[in-house]
Amino acid sequence: MKTERVTLLISPGDKRRFQSLAEDRGITTSELVRQAVDAYGAASVDEARELAVLTRELRAAIPGMRRSLRDANAAAERAIAALRGSPAAGRRVAEPSARQRSGKL
C-alpha cells in the first residue's frame, strides 16, 4: 500500500490516548486513525448532509403548517358556531369538555 503523510495537530493528552488505544489493539497509531476514519465513513458524512437538508426543508415548511392549522381551526370554530346557532339542527351541540379541549382524549 502506497502511503502519504498527513500531519495532525492534537493535544498531548489526545496523543497519549491514541497511542494507548492503538497499543491495546496491537496496531500502530496511524492504523488506529485509518480505522477510525473508515468506521466514521463517507456514509456518515452523507447522512449528516441529508439530515441538514431535511431539517432546512422542515423548518421552511413549519410556517405553512401553522397557517394551515390556524385556518383549519378557524373553519372548525365557524362550523361549530353555525351548528350551535342553526335552528335547522333542532338540537344544541354540546360544549367540548376540558379534556376534549386539552386534546387528551
62 domain residue, yes or no:
yes
- What's the predicted TM-score (pTM) here? 0.41
6 domain residue, yes or no:
no
Total domains present in the chain: 1
Separation of first and last alpha carbons in the chain: 65
- What is the C-alpha separation between 22 and 5, in angstroms, rounded? 18
pLDDT tens-place string over residues 48-99: 888 899 999 999 999 999 999 999 999 999 999 999 887 655 555 566 777 7
41 domain residue, yes or no:
yes
Q: What residues make up the domain containing 29?
A: 12-85
4 domain residue, yes or no:
no
pLDDT of residue 98: 72
pLDDT tens-place string over residues 9-57: 999 999 999 999 999 999 999 999 999 888 877 677 778 888 899 999 9
- What is the C-alpha separation between 54 and 25, in angstroms, rounded? 38
